[in-house]
Amino acid sequence: MFDYLIVGAGFAGSVLAERLATRSNKKVLVVDKRNHIAGNAYDHYNEEGILVHKYGPHIFHTNSKDVFEYLSNFTDWRPYEHRVLASVDGQLVPMPINLDTINKLYGLSLNSFEVEQFLESLAEQVPVIKTSEDVVVSKVGRELYEKFFRNYTRKQWGMDPSELDKSVTSRVPTRTNRDDRYFTDTYQAMPLHGYTRMFERMLDHPNIKVMLNTDYHDIVDFIPFKEMIFSGPVDEYFDFKYGKLPYRSLEFKHETLNTENYLAAPVVNYPNDNLYTRITEFKALTGQKHPKTSIVYEYPKAEGDPYYPVPRLENAELYNKYKKLADETPNVHFVGRLATYKYYNMDQVVAQALTLYKKLTEKSEEVQKATVKPTITGSAAILDKLVPRDPAKE
Ligand SMILES: Cc1cc2nc3c(=O)[nH]c(=O)nc-3n(C[C@H](O)[C@H](O)[C@H](O)COP(=O)(O)OP(=O)(O)OC[C@H]3O[C@@H](n4cnc5c(N)ncnc54)[C@H](O)[C@@H]3O)c2cc1C
């Protein structure tokens, strides 16, 4: 009998397995239908011996000290601040847009103050910001929107930014200084020996059993367990009762080149040219030294593995119907990006899993307190029967 069946060996499932096994001494079975642990963060050495991320570049960044310290139990880190260039009008310019982007693109030599005024002069008045288009044109105007955002978003989402929730482009800042870092979080680093190694260390405990190549449907009726933690797609769990939750997918085309370095930056975005959105060079992320180099192209597509929940109002409403079912399902806990239908970064999923662990332990402590009765006799025992017990006060 397992205390927990955990579906999915990504961040959500593995963090919970680790906490439950090591802190609460629970017996845990982790199943994943893929042939590896680490979920979408999975990395491996390819046939040339270069460390690559199978599901596209994963860069760790967080403002949460707790999350960073928690993961540091399982890995050392390589300090790494991510940088991206965008190929626009035949030039490679910093992305997010900053002072250098504007100066290079328009052949100017503005300072921070002047660029702020320049962007203000381009910005359009948008009375109510609703869509992804509104966010950008109200900040930098239509021309920069067309050059950097419109076609990229169309490729990435198969929809015009005017049809997408404002959250998609709100994430991308505009800077009037020369800061060309992609993220500004307090902690930015890559696991020194890769993500998969970090997951191996998380799951390495006698209380944890891992079954790969296993869809949970195939075992759920045969393996006894008390509670389930589910990090797969929530609509799939309920047999698509209300219909499919829409996702955008990607195809990854990996290549190894016979040259030591290939790109001018770790990632180059192609908003307007090519069918792919971006190219990543892995050695720039991992710091690995190798005479060859490995890159990956990302081609967005409608069908395939579910990667990005599509942020539109009707999808949020559909998810809410599934959430209601999930909340009403006893002894099953839904966690992670697929089970809660949200685009979460890795650190957010770790935080979500740690929060669920806390909730589970509080719940089991309450149950223990409510069920363990002191062995007392005589009048005290009678009193015990008469006075309702309040576990919170014990
Ligand atoms: C292209 C791309 C790039 C990203 N880059 C970054 C980045 O740079 N930085 C960042 O912080 N985040 C990034 N993310 C987000 C990151 O991948 C997620 O935050 C993280 O993987 C979520 O972990 P999870 O455990 O919720 O889901 P997952 O990692 O997807 O794990 C869920 C697991 O459940 C398994 N599963 C599903 N259904 C079943 C079933 N029926 N039976 C058994 N197993 C099942 C799946 O096989 C999967 O392994 C990126 C995501 C994508 C798609």
pLDDT attached to residue 371: 62
Rounded to whole angstroms, how far apart are CA atoms 239 and 221?
16
332 has which bridge partners? 228
Residues 224 and 359 in one domain: yes
Which protein residue has the closest C-alpha to ligand 1 atom 14? 345
The helix/strand count (H/E) of the chain reads as 13, 17
Residues 381 and 317 in one domain: yes
How far is the CA of 304 from the CAs of 162, 246, 252, 307, in angstroms?
25, 11, 11, 9
Residues 241 and 101 in one domain: no
95 has which bridge partners? 84
Residues 238 and 160 in one domain: no
Residues 237 and 382 in one domain: yes
Check if the beta carbon of residue 63 is closer than 8 Å to that of residue 75.
Answer: no
Residue 253: inside a domain: no
Report how far ligand 1's centroid is from the alpha carbon of 39 (Å): 5
Residue 237: inside a domain: yes
Quote the number of domains for the chain: 2
Residue 1: inside a domain: yes
Q: pLDDT 10s digit of each residue in the chain, 394 long?
A: 999 999 999 999 999 999 999 999 999 999 999 999 999 999 999 999 999 999 999 999 999 999 999 999 999 999 999 999 999 999 999 999 999 999 999 999 999 999 999 999 999 999 999 999 999 999 999 999 999 999 999 999 999 999 988 888 887 889 999 999 999 999 999 999 999 999 999 999 999 999 999 999 999 999 999 999 999 999 999 999 999 999 999 999 999 999 999 999 999 999 999 999 999 999 999 999 999 999 999 999 999 999 999 988 899 999 999 999 999 999 999 999 999 999 999 999 999 999 999 999 997 777 667 665 444 333 333 223 222 333 333 2
Residues 119 and 239 in one domain: no
Residue 330: inside a domain: yes
Measured from the CB, is residue 18 less than 6 Å from ligand 1?
Answer: no
Residue 296: inside a domain: no
Rounded to whole angstroms, how far apart are CA atoms 356 and 19?
10
Residues 234 and 166 in one domain: no
Report how far ligand 1's centroid is from the alpha carbon of 233 (Å): 11
Q: Residue 34 CA: which ligand 1 atom is closest?
A: 47
User: What are the b/e assignments for 239-255, b being 16+ CB within 10 Å?
Assistant: eeebeebbbbebebebe
Report how far ligand 1's centroid is from the alpha carbon of 238 (Å): 20
Residue 53: inside a domain: no
Residue of 5, 40, 229, 245 to test ligand 1 pocket, by largest number of atoms within 8 Å of CB: 40
Residues 215 and 342 in one domain: yes
Q: Residue 217 CA: which ligand 1 atom is closest?
A: 41
Residues 229 and 97 in one domain: no
Check if the beta carbon of residue 119 is closer than 8 Å to that of residue 135.
Answer: no
User: Domain containing 8: what range?
Assistant: 1-37+203-245+310-394
Measured from the CB, is residue 10 less than 6 Å from ligand 1?
Answer: yes
Residue of 236, 346, 348 to test ligand 1 pocket, by largest number of atoms within 8 Å of CB: 346
Rounded to whole angstroms, how far apart are CA atoms 94 and 104?
9
> How crowded is residue 323: how many other Cβ atoms within 10 Å of its Cβ?
16
Q: Which residues contact 299 (CB under 8 A, 6 or more apart)?
A: 250, 251, 252, 253, 275, 276, 277
CATH code where residue 215 lies:
3.40.50.720
Measured from the CB, is residue 32 less than 6 Å from ligand 1?
Answer: yes
93 has which bridge partners? 86
